[in-house]
């Protein structure tokens, strides 16, 4: 180790630039990898429903309205006609007409004039304020049957859930938080409130938890909205196929037959597998969200690959310059393995030191609120996240470990390949210019 540090110090002029480059690369890698790492982790969490047999049909305009009057009524009538055609297919088990974002409505906090987190609505129980995900469905539209959300208590089947018109339905995790168990929640009241609203809902049933966002968030409340209106942005029909139906084959056939579903103003533009348009196994997502996430991943990979190639190139050139040094060491009896081990060890020392400095810089970067990091404190009314994401020390250790391993691999490639070439060079050739 003493000789290793001595070598690093003797080449400090070159190593300073290598060290600075590694610090920058490690810092950028942390900012790019962390949000993607967290989102991918949330994608791996159990969804709470069966989406392998789900297909989404996108309803498109074929004839624009001259006026907006009557547009929603026509959409209800014509989409019902399209739905009946889909239900008549032998491969289809159930169909549900959905909102643009497939069931979730994001509301504003009218009391303070600020937008709450996605899909959050204020509720209270015994004086405690909660921010819950409000999920709306239309009674009789087979919402729970189509998505495969199963009851825990209060109803015996998803079919019974789908026809409830009064009160509300809550998720298991919310019921256990408020009442201790799912059974204890049945018949209790929960209040929705804001500056102009104070409405109580009686809990009629409790359902299994599902994930509807790129976060650990399973506090949901389901309510009948009386009917699904058309918003004019994107209109979706969710289809549950029967068991053993080949999803991709069904999609190919129905995309070919899409014109047969046309009505006066609408038709089905395309069929897509639910897993292909949903982001992070998000029950109620839209294609633009998937595109946004994929774009962020592609952008991060582009920058990281270029930075890593830059690091490999820098260490490659630095190692190639040490051909004469390698020749001298071999002339004094050093083995090829020892020389390569020394070069690699120097790279690991520089990487470790740069990662330590990066950790200090990045933690301060996050503390200032500039970093996304996904470990920022949640709103106190939101559901706590019990996973490693909310555990700041563990979260950072996992992130730092991933970045450290990646940079070590990159540095090893930049050193090992040229080092192997120069230690194989004959001593006379290595010392030719000495």
Question: pLDDT by residue for the chain (434 residues), tens digit each?
Answer: 665 666 666 666 677 888 888 999 999 999 889 888 888 888 788 778 888 898 888 877 665 554 445 555 666 677 778 888 899 999 999 998 765 444 443 333 334 444 444 457 778 777 778 888 888 888 888 889 998 899 999 998 999 998 898 889 999 999 999 999 999 999 999 988 765 667 888 999 999 998 866 778 888 899 887 765 544 445 778 899 999 899 999 999 999 888 888 777 778 888 888 877 654 334 444 444 556 677 778 888 888 889 889 999 988 888 888 777 777 777 777 787 888 888 888 888 899 999 999 999 998 888 776 665 665 556 778 888 888 888 888 899 999 999 999 999 999 999 898 888 887 776 656 566 55
Could you give the CA distance from residue 267 to residue 258 in angstroms, rounded to a whole number? 7
Sheet with 266-273, side-by-side order of all strands: 92-98, 235-241, 54-61, 266-273
What are the structure tokens assigned to 206, written together? 């409790």
Could you give the CA distance from residue 256 to residue 133 in angstroms, rounded to a whole number? 37
Could you give the CA distance from residue 227 to residue 286 in angstroms, rounded to a whole number? 20
pTM of the predicted structure, to 2 decimals = 0.76
User: How high is the pLDDT of residue 92?
Assistant: 93
Q: Answer for the pair 151, 186: CB distance below 8 angstroms, yes or no.
A: no
* Torsion sign across C-alpha atoms 133, 139, 145, 146: negative
User: How high is the pLDDT of residue 327?
Assistant: 75
User: How high is the pLDDT of residue 265?
Assistant: 75
Could you give the CA distance from residue 85 to residue 101 in angstroms, rounded to a whole number? 23
Contacts of 69 (CB under 8 A, 6+ apart): none
Q: For 378-430, where are the alpha helices, taking DSSP H only?
A: 392-423, 427-430
User: DSSP string spanning 40-86?
Assistant: HHHHHS--SS--TTEEEEEEEESS--SSSTTHHHHHHHHHHHHHHHH
Q: Answer for the pair 8, 347: CB distance below 8 angstroms, yes or no.
A: no
User: How high is the pLDDT of residue 292?
Assistant: 67
pLDDT digit string, tens, across residues 377-404: 567 788 888 888 888 888 999 999 999 9
Q: Helix or strand or coil: residue 175?
A: helix
Q: How far is CA 341 from the centre of its chain?
A: 40
Q: How many CB atoms lie within 10 A of CB 36?
A: 15
Cα–Cα distances (Å) from 86 to 51, 140, 318, 333, in that order, read 18, 16, 65, 80
123 dihedral zone (left: phi>0; alpha: psi -120 to 50; beta)? beta
């Amino acid at each position: 180790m003493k000789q290793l540090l001595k070598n690093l110090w003797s080449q400090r002029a070159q190593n300073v630039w290598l060290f600075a480059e590694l610090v920058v690369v490690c810092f950028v890698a942390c900012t790019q990898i962390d949000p993607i790492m967290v989102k991918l982790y949330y994608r791996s969490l159990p969804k709470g429903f069966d989406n392998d047999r789900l297909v989404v049909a996108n309803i498109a305009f074929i004839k624009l309205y001259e006026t907006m009057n009557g547009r929603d009524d026509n959409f209800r009538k014509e989409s019902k006609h399209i739905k009946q055609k889909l239900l008549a297919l032998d491969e289809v088990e159930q169909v549900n007409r959905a909102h643009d974002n497939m069931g979730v409505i994001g509301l504003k906090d009218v009391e303070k004039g600020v937008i709450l987190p996605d899909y959050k609505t204020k509720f209270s129980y015994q004086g405690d304020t909660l921010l819950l995900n409000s999920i709306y469905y239309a009674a009789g539209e087979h919402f729970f049957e189509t998505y495969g959300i199963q009851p825990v208590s209060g109803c015996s089947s998803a079919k019974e859930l789908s026809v409830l018109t009064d009160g509300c339905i809550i998720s298991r995790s919310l019921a256990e938080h408020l009442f201790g168990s799912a059974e204890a929640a049945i018949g209790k009241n929960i209040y929705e409130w804001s500056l102009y609203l104070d409405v109580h809902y009686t809990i009629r049933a409790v359902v299994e938890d599902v994930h509807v966002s790129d976060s650990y968030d399973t506090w949901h409340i389901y309510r009948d909205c009386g009917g699904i209106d058309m918003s004019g942005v994107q209109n979706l029909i969710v289809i549950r196929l029967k068991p053993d139906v080949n999803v991709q084959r069904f999609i190919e056939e129905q995309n070919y037959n899409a014109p047969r579903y046309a009505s006066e103003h609408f038709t089905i533009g395309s069929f897509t597998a639910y897993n292909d348009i949903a982001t992070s196994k998000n029950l109620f997502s839209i294609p633009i969200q998937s595109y946004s996430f994929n774009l962020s991943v592609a952008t991060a990979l582009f920058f990281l690959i270029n930075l890593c190639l830059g690091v490999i190139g820098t260490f490659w050139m630095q190692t190639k310059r040490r051909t004469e040094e390698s020749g001298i060491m071999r002339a004094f009896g050093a083995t090829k393995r020892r020389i390569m081990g020394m070069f690699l060890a120097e790279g690991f020392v520089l990487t470790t030191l740069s990662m330590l400095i990066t950790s200090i810089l990045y933690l301060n970067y996050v503390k200032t609120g500039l970093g996304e990091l996904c470990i920022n404190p949640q709103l106190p009314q939101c559901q706590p996240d019990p996973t490693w994401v909310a555990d700041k020390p563990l979260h950072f250790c996992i992130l730092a470990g991933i970045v450290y391993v990646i940079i070590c691999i990159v540095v090893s490639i930049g050193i090992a390949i040229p080092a192997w070439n120069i230690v194989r060079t004959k001593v006379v050739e290595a010392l030719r210019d000495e």
